Amino acid sequence: MKKILLIATGGTIASHSGKEGLIPQIQAKGLLKCVPEVYDICRPDAIQIYNIDSTNVTPSHWVTLATTIRDHYDEYDGFVVCHGTDTMSYTAAMLSYMVQGSPKPIVLTGSQQPIDKEDTDGRINLRDSFLYAASDAASDVVIVFQGNVIAGTRAKKIRTKSYNAFTSVDFPNLAVIRDGRVIQYITTPKRDKPEFFLQLNEKVGLLTLTPGVKGEILDAYFRLHDAVVLSGYGTGGIPEGEYYGFYEVIQRWQSKGKTLVVTTQVQQEGSDMSVYQVGRGLKNRFDLLESYSMTYESIITKLMWILAQTKEDEAVEKLFYKNINYDLIG
């Protein structure tokens, strides 16, 4: 039987009710006790690296998580990470860049209800995660939730309370889990070993445009960050003209070596700045990066990874457009 390591980080799945709401309190071994059937699937171990609400996750927590996986990588055949749902998509994307090309599965899961509640989804999700982590077809970073196996860079939380909380954006599920069986749709070619990256640059900011927002806000974002993700309208439209003043701000900060990525607020189908003048004009004038089909979570975490490796424009562009764990489509 395969050896699978459960890495517990907190989240709803590990919570008890307190005076001010749910608080993560259940430890890793306590989670395992709630799903005794996993001992028929694999040989599980469990460790606790922190116990927090995922709202409080920071890049330093990602480094701790990736370091833990690296330090135990040779001992186990796969990993299951229990994580809060609110930032799970960010963590899954970040792990896709920090642990690249893992031939062993790194499965993130959680729940919308604490695991010790009678009507919880936590026991099913945790059991399914161990089942997938023990599958011969599994590899790389994925989220397993409500029977869906989603590539780590394609996942997004779309519901706050319902059990079917996650979707795979513009990309099919890698697999589904039905009646205790893994049905694999897409198999990723396995490498011999992963590549670990444990350095991050936290100075990446996301500015979502609203009608009337002016260049002063963008200027402040550039002042505080090494890269700014500018989330425009539709296919990637960015307002132009003196009222907004975006072009002048972008020109000034790009001359100082700052990176600009343009994305869209629309969840499905990605950006295409060539369609409208308000997108094409900006792209023709500046050396910016366009996100196309990437999710917010992937763009931001990928930039944190890239800018820890290099700040040279050509190298940044090359790494940004490198397809990693299905983050770029087409």
Q: Which residues are catalytic?
A: 12
Beta strand segments in the chain, E: 3-10, 15-18, 21-24, 43-52, 78-82, 99-100, 106-109, 141-145, 148-151, 155-157, 166-168, 175-178, 181-184, 195-196, 204-208, 227-232, 259-264, 289-290
What's the one-letter identity of residue 11? G
Per the structure block, which two tokens stand in for 176? 């589904």
Torsions phi, psi of 238, nearest 5?
-125, 125
Please tell me the distance from the alpha carbon of residue 82 to that of residue 124, in angstroms, as a whole number. Answer: 13
Which stretch of DSSP H or E encloses residue 143? Answer: strand 141-145
Contacts of 198 (CB under 8 A, 6+ apart): 63, 66, 67, 70, 98
End-to-end CA distance of the chain: 38
- Identify the residue whose tokens are 């003196």: 242
Contact 231, 264 (CB under 8 A): yes
Which stretch of DSSP H or E encloses residue 132? Answer: helix 122-133
Torsions phi, psi of 303, nearest 5?
-65, -40
DSSP 264-301: ES-SSS---TTSSHHHHHHHHHS--EE-TT--HHHHHH
Say what angle helices 88-98 and 296-309 make with each other, to 10 degrees. Answer: 40
